[in-house]
Amino acid sequence: MKKIVKISLVFLTFHVFYGCSYLDVVPDNVATIENAFTLRSAAKKYLYTCYSYLPQHGQLTTSSASFAGIEMWPLAYNASNTSNFVQGKQNVSSPLLNYWEGSNGGKDLFEGIRDCNIFLDNIQHVPDMQQEERDQWAAEVVFLKAYYHYFLLQLYGPIPLVKESLPIDAGIEEVRVSREPIDTCVNYIVSLLDDALLYLPNLPLQQIDLPNYGRITAMMALGLKAKVLATAASPLFNGNTDYANYIDPKNGQLFNQTYSAEKWQRAMVATKAALDNAASISMKLFEFVPGATLTISDTTQTELNIREAFASHDPNSEVIWPNTGANAQQSALTPRSWSPDLTSTSTGGAYGPTLNIVEMFYTDKGLPIDKDKTWDYSGRYDLRIGDEVNRRHVQLGYETINLHFHREPRFYANIGFDGGVWYGQGVYDDVHSWHLEIRGGRYTSVRETSAHSPTGYYPKKPINYQNYLEGTSYYITSYQFPNMRLTDLFLLYAEAENEYSGPSAEVFDRINAVRARAGIPTVQESWDEYSTQPGKYSTKEGLRDIIRQERRIELNSESQVYWDLLRWKTAENILSQPMLGWDKRGVEPEEFYKQTVIYQRSFKKRDYFMPIREYELQRNENLLQSPGW
């Protein structure tokens, strides 16, 4: 009888030296491989065990990227592994969000990979299954194995590759693994995805099987392959001379030292294949369809196109990969109260978008606020009263600032601001929508130490518009956090082609499709007619800036921006800026609208990669610490 062995990736645990441990996440506590794969029902439970290691990107306390890209900032009172991480408290003695071993908010992804290997070793022996189903389940697990390696690569850079299960009698040298070069890691991950694609189903949207919604499909594998190759082509991993001296005694240079444009070509081809596949199964950018009893303006329609593309309760035409184990934590983000009489409250948000992010969104002409010649950048903090023309964005008669007027629809879909209108939440007449009053003493202001925005803004996009108030209770409509949306791939393709060969018609087609759904002009129209830098988009460098800001805006609050900042090698500049907001206790507008440093963040070059716990390095002499740690 074969035992299931649990050998840590550090691999020098006391299990190795002093005996074996049975796997602690097997179906029904069965301790043998034979029993775990005797029947389809048991094998299916093991399949779900392999899925259980997926990082929960919608969970604010366990995802390093959930607001590490400064899209949101936590209250100091709301301490968690993630908030400590973004406040620069990472360390080598007990690393935060430790996905290497599974501690301090992280999951043990190497254990997940081992479970995947065990599944793959045994699934073909399950008797009461058709071969087609065995192959599909195996392909799903091969995808998961690829994703876990990729996620670890994003976190730790060069990683050991766990290609197969180790025998129970493996020697110590066999388990003393080393880091592999980045290119070797990427090629292995891509080979796994190619293997998975041979058997994964390619389901049209209309054939979504809700009980299996979120199971791995060919579209997910194609999308992930595109993202893996774009990551590999990006400055952090493509000819990064910062790590010229990061050399493994066994495997040599871990970061390639010569830039290769062909890596962008490879990413471009993979992304184009994913987009072509999406079109073939009727995936498209989402458009909100109001119910028969719902009458809304074009302004609200555009905002809901944006909000519901991300936070829809039901499957939609744009979500490629829903993380069905990760409902977004709406209660931690929602403003505490909606009612001026203070009788209707939510559970109390403790996170707020920074002023840095508020100013990142475009004007209504589709331009950065400091590049639009029709917009008063120097007077953006001047006071202004909501008027009839802007009443679907700013409460009529409410005094706020110019910064909140004449912004793009994605700004109003993403950001809740003082005096800002918030459609939904039980009121579906967009002439009489709720609005926020965040200044001191008002109903969404600081009234509890642990339940208010630290910045003077609230996130809106992650809050489902169908949440509603009833008396003093607040009811939440849950949704599955999207790991990947079609707009991500549209912009990824534009980036890859621009980096490989410069601006082209197809690059603009992809960007402009995203912008059209967002309700703003094309790149060419915006920059030629309204900007202080006409024609900026005509060079590779200029278009690169545009694409990067477009991604940061479109993917705001989606646990994606952080990874972009890392792979672009811009994190050390952007994430070292002071986090700004307003004086949240100010009562009068002149008191509230005082720019305030919420936190002076620090990001060092070593922070591009997570550290490995020092104790693990002592147990495995072959394992290098992450660069800079």
- Residue 370: inside a domain, yes or no? yes
Instruction: Measure the CA–CA gap between 348 and 453, rounded to whole angstroms.
Output: 9
Which CATH number fits the domain that encloses residue 503? Answer: 1.25.40.900
Read off the pLDDT of each residue in 623-627 and give the average, rounded to a whole number.
97
Percent of the chain with pLDDT over 70: 89
Q: What is the pLDDT of residue 16?
A: 27
For residue 108, what are its two tokens? 């043990």
**Which helix (H) or strand (E) segment is 300 a member of?**
helix 298-311
pLDDT, greater one: 177 or 443: 177
* Same domain (yes/no): 571, 584: no
For residue 83, what are its two tokens? 């908030």
pLDDT in tens, 101-125: 999 999 999 999 999 999 999 999 9
For residue 483, what are its two tokens? 């790991």
Amino acid letter, 601? R
* Same domain (yes/no): 472, 500: no
- Residue 194: inside a domain, yes or no? no
From 59-63, 258-262, 369-373, the region with the lowest mean pLDDT? 59-63
From 45-54, 208-217, 387-396, the region with the lowest mean pLDDT? 208-217
Long-range CB contacts (within 8 A, 24+) of 194-198: 194/225, 195/139, 195/142, 196/139, 196/140, 196/142, 196/143, 196/146, 196/221, 197/139, 197/221, 197/222, 198/139
Residue 4: pLDDT above 70?
no
Q: How far is CA 470 from CA 49, 341, 364, 425, 462, in A?
A: 39, 14, 35, 10, 21
Q: What is the pLDDT of residue 69?
A: 78
pLDDT, greater one: 504 or 35: 504
pLDDT in tens, 136-164: 999 999 999 999 999 999 999 999 999 99
Read off the pLDDT of each residue in 201-220 and give the average, rounded to a whole number.
79
Q: What is the pLDDT of residue 6?
A: 37
Q: What residues form DSSP beta bridges with 337?
A: 345
Per-residue confidence at 2, pLDDT binned at 50, 70, 90? very low
What are the φ and ψ backbone dihedral angles of 621, each rounded to 5 degrees?
A: -65, -20
Instruction: Measure the CA–CA gap between 535 and 526, rounded to whole angstroms.
Output: 10
Number of domains the chain contains: 2
First to last CA, the chain: 44
Q: How far is CA 431 from CA 156, 458, 535, in A?
A: 50, 21, 39
- Residue 70: inside a domain, yes or no? no
- Residue 339: inside a domain, yes or no? yes
* Same domain (yes/no): 451, 352: yes
Q: What is the pLDDT of residue 207?
A: 56
- Residue 365: inside a domain, yes or no? yes
* Same domain (yes/no): 458, 502: no
Instruction: Measure the CA–CA gap between 408 and 403, rounded to whole angstroms.
Output: 11
* Same domain (yes/no): 495, 471: no
Residue 8: pLDDT above 60?
no
* Same domain (yes/no): 366, 456: yes
Amino acid letter, 1? M
Closest CA to 69 of 518, 629, 551: 551
* Same domain (yes/no): 344, 473: yes
Percent of the chain with pLDDT over 90: 72
* pTM metric for this prediction: 0.92
* Same domain (yes/no): 425, 557: no
* Same domain (yes/no): 417, 464: yes
Residue 63: pLDDT above 50?
yes
Q: What is the pLDDT of residue 166?
A: 78
Instruction: Measure the CA–CA gap between 308 and 464, rounded to whole angstroms.
Output: 8
- Residue 90: inside a domain, yes or no? no
Instruction: Measure the CA–CA gap between 297 and 431, rounded to whole angstroms.
Output: 9
* Same domain (yes/no): 435, 498: no
**How many CA atoms does the CB half-sphere of 41 hold within 13 Å?**
2
Torsion angle in degrees (nearest 10) through CA of 563, 567, 569, 574: -20
From 316-330, 369-383, 385-399, 550-564, the region with the lowest mean pLDDT? 316-330
pLDDT in tens, 459-496: 999 999 999 888 777 888 988 899 999 999 999 999 99
* Same domain (yes/no): 426, 525: no
Q: How far is CA 247 from CA 253, 254, 278, 604, in A?
A: 5, 6, 41, 21
CB 446 within 8 A of CB 289: no
pLDDT in tens, 572-612: 999 999 999 999 999 999 999 999 999 998 999 999 999 99
Per-residue confidence at 254, pLDDT binned at 50, 70, 90? very high
**Which helix (H) or strand (E) segment is 399 a member of?**
strand 399-401
- Residue 350: inside a domain, yes or no? yes
Q: Give the domain range for residue 548.
A: 484-576
Closest CA to 33 of 108, 128, 114, 145: 114
Residue 503: pLDDT above 80?
yes
For tokens 């998975």, the residue is 196
* Same domain (yes/no): 444, 369: yes
Residue 306: pLDDT above 50?
yes
CB 238 within 8 A of CB 260: yes
Beta-carbon contacts of residue 509 (< 8 Å; ≥ 6 apart): none
Mean pLDDT estimate for the chain:
89
Residue 528: pLDDT above 80?
yes
Cβ neighbours of 421 (radius 10 Å): 26
Instruction: Measure the CA–CA gap between 334 and 206, rounded to whole angstroms.
Output: 33
Per-residue confidence at 17, pLDDT binned at 50, 70, 90? very low
pLDDT in tens, 542-551: 999 999 999 9
CB 139 within 8 A of CB 224: no
Residue 213: pLDDT above 90?
no
For residue 183, what are its two tokens? 């290119």
Q: How far is CA 31 from CA 4, 15, 53, 118, 300, in A?
A: 7, 16, 20, 13, 56
Per-residue confidence at 5, pLDDT binned at 50, 70, 90? very low
- Residue 605: inside a domain, yes or no? yes
Instruction: Measure the CA–CA gap between 183 and 185, rounded to whole angstroms.
Output: 5
For residue 68, what are its two tokens? 């590490």
Instruction: Measure the CA–CA gap between 24 and 525, rounded to whole angstroms.
Output: 59
386 burial level (CB within 10 Å; 0-12, 13-18, 19+): buried
